[in-house]
Structure 1
Amino acid sequence: MTSAKNYEFINSVLPQWLETSRLQTVHGSTAAYIPELAKAPQEALGIHIMCGNGEHVSAGDCGHVFTLQSISKVFTLILALMDHGEEAIFAKVGMEPTGDDFNSMLKLELVRPGIPFNPFINAGAITISSLIVGDGPEEKSARILEFFRRLAGSDTLDYNMDVYHSESETGHRNRSLAYFLLDNGVLGGSSVEDVLEVYFRHCAIEVTCADLARMGLILAFDGKDPLTGDTLIPRRYVQIAKTFMITCGMYNASGEFAIQAGLPAKSGVSGGILTLVPGQYGIGVVGPALNSKGNSIAGVHLLERLSQELDWSIF
């Protein structure tokens, strides 16, 4: 199927397929452990797909605004790599999946040298947050927000301060992780509260499915914005980020998603999923009802169907 026909087919079937996947939301639940996220509409499901030529198609509740949560970890990793290079970053975080929950501290103590296994688990993302260049949490956060705005092509991206405060007030496990990292020498001389302020802030940046799709489009074209011709990210760092998305991006269901969909993806507990089809599409999905692994239950169902029907798998 040619690209044009492929796009026309997606446009014709997407609303029906989305409504079929929406039925899965009754089997999931919102992220109740973060009080503000628990308020999201459980039955919501939306998707936005953007092509390299600027054409786009959307369906469902794609206007629903949500916070990036763990999806932000893809782009803070990239920014930290741009700030310091590979050697410095991977002296502080590893490159392997864990098989543990995203907020587990088990292997920090059991496996030496006590650095986080990868930058997508919470311990790894907290470490990455400490490595963003800036004079204090305000400047670091401002740099992250500006970088995200450039990738999304939107000057309106901003924090949801209610979500930020909700996470900060209830983030006891993340504080435990940060103090453990500090004790292991991973955070250097950074203040735990300063690092967590940066971390909680970038998780609380608000987006729509269209914003996610636009950010995914940059990754789909190896760091180059196909709509402007500007190179925003070095290709090597996009390679690294996409590899982590395949191996670690969907929490403990990353292997299953790789088999069923075969696409680089990163999910967040707000129900967002960022994915891409290399050289073709950036895709943003939201569905706040989560499965037992913390991924959007209806969003995963929809993406797996799209990939299988349209032969999107990179494998």
Structure 2
Amino acid sequence: MTNEAQWQHITAQLPLWLAKSRSEAQHGRPASYIPELAHAPADALGAVILSADGRKLEAGDSSYVFTLQSISKVFTLLLALMDQGEERVFRKVGMEPTGDDFNSMLKLELVEPGIPFNPLINAGAITVTSLIAGQTPTERTSRVLAFFRELTGDPALTYNETVYASEKATAHRNRSLAYFLKDNDVLDADVEETLDVYFKHCSIEADCSHLARLALVLALNGKDPHTGRELVPRRYVQIAKSFMITCGMYNASGEFAIQVGLPAKSGVAGGILALVPGRYGIGVVGPALNDKGNSVAGVHLLRTMSEAMDWSIF
């Protein structure tokens, strides 16, 4: 199937695929451990696909606004790599899946040298956040926002104050992780200042178009889809996409790799960013989550699309 024929097929089928996947939302429910996220509409499902040649498809609740949550971790990793380089970043975090929950501290105590296994679990992402350059939390947050604004092409992108406050008030596990990292000499920066930046980048508001644009930058190995200018070094994008395959979908990353076969990153607000290398950036949102923390309907939709279009990279 030619690229044009494939695009026409996706155009015709996406609304049908989405309608079928929406019914899967009944098998999940919105996250509640961050109280503000529990208010999300459980049956919402939206998708946006951006092509490398500038075309766009939308379906369902694609304009629904949500917070990035763990999806932001991919991009704070990229920013930390750009600020510090590989050697310094990977002295502080590892490169392996954990097999544990994303907010577990179990292996920090049991496995030497006591660093987080990877940058996409909470302990790893908090550590990565501490490596972003800046003299103050305000400066670091400003740099994170500026990076997201550049990658999305949206100068108005910002974080949701209500979700940020909700996370900050209830983040007892994350606070425990951060202090444990501090005690292990993994976290060099101030704990509360680091957490403030972390909560804010997890609370950045986006819609499916933002996710698709972020994904397309990764699909194009760090280049701006419109100008071709390098926004992120190719090597660092390669690292990020490798983590997305191995760790991007929490403890369902292996299953997702087998069933969908695309680099992806989910967040507990229901968003999933996925990409078809060199071709498409995909943004999906469905707030009803399964027991692994991934959007039930979103995963179903991505699996349906990947199987129909033979997108698996494997």
Q: TM-score range by the shorter chain?
A: over 0.9
For residues 155 and 286 of structure 2, the distance between their equivalents in structure 1, rounded to whole angstroms, comes to 24
Equivalence map 1:117-156=2 (5 Å): 117-156=117-156
- Aligned-pair CA distance for 1:226: 2.5
- Aligned-pair CA distance for 1:191: 1.3
Q: What percent identity do the matched residue pairs reach? A: 68
For residues 108 and 142 of structure 2, the distance between their equivalents in structure 1, rounded to whole angstroms, comes to 30
Equivalence map 1:145-294=2 (5 Å): 145-188=145-188, 190-294=189-293
Partner of 1:54: 54
Partner of 2:36: 36
Instruction: List 4+ stretches of structure 1 deviating above 2 A.
Output: none
Taking structure 1 as the reference length, the TM-score comes to 0.99
For residues 2 and 90 of structure 1, the distance between their equivalents in structure 2, rounded to whole angstroms, comes to 41
Taking structure 2 as the reference length, the TM-score comes to 1.00
Deviations 1:185-221 (A, max 9, x none): 0112x21110000000000000010001001000000
Matched, 1:88 2:88: yes
Q: 5+ residue gaps in structure 2? A: none
Letter in 1 for 2:248: G
- Aligned-pair CA distance for 1:229: 1.4
The Cα RMSD (Å) is 0.5
Q: For 1:91, what is the secondary structure of its paired residue?
A: helix
Letter in 2 for 1:261: V
For residues 107 and 58 of structure 2, the distance between their equivalents in structure 1, rounded to whole angstroms, comes to 41
Letter in 2 for 1:302: L
For residues 44 and 272 of structure 2, the distance between their equivalents in structure 1, rounded to whole angstroms, comes to 13
Letter in 1 for 2:272: I
- Aligned-pair CA distance for 1:294: 0.1
Count of matched residue positions in the alignment of Structure 1 and Structure 2: 314
Letter in 2 for 1:160: N
Q: For 2:92, what is the secondary structure of its paired residue?
A: coil
For residues 25 and 130 of structure 2, the distance between their equivalents in structure 1, rounded to whole angstroms, comes to 36
Letter in 1 for 2:233: P
Q: For 2:35, what is the secondary structure of its paired residue?
A: coil
- Aligned-pair CA distance for 1:133: 0.1
For residues 45 and 242 of structure 2, the distance between their equivalents in structure 1, rounded to whole angstroms, comes to 27
Partner of 2:312: 313
Deviations 1:92-151 (A, max 9, x none): 000000000000000000001100000000000000010000011100000000000100
- Aligned-pair CA distance for 1:165: 0.3
Deviations 1:147-200 (A, max 9, x none): 001000111111100000000000000000000000000112x21110000000
Q: For 2:50, what is the secondary structure of its paired residue?
A: strand
For residues 79 and 281 of structure 2, the distance between their equivalents in structure 1, rounded to whole angstroms, comes to 19
Matched, 1:23 2:11: no
Partner of 2:73: 73
- Aligned-pair CA distance for 1:225: 1.4
Letter in 1 for 2:139: E
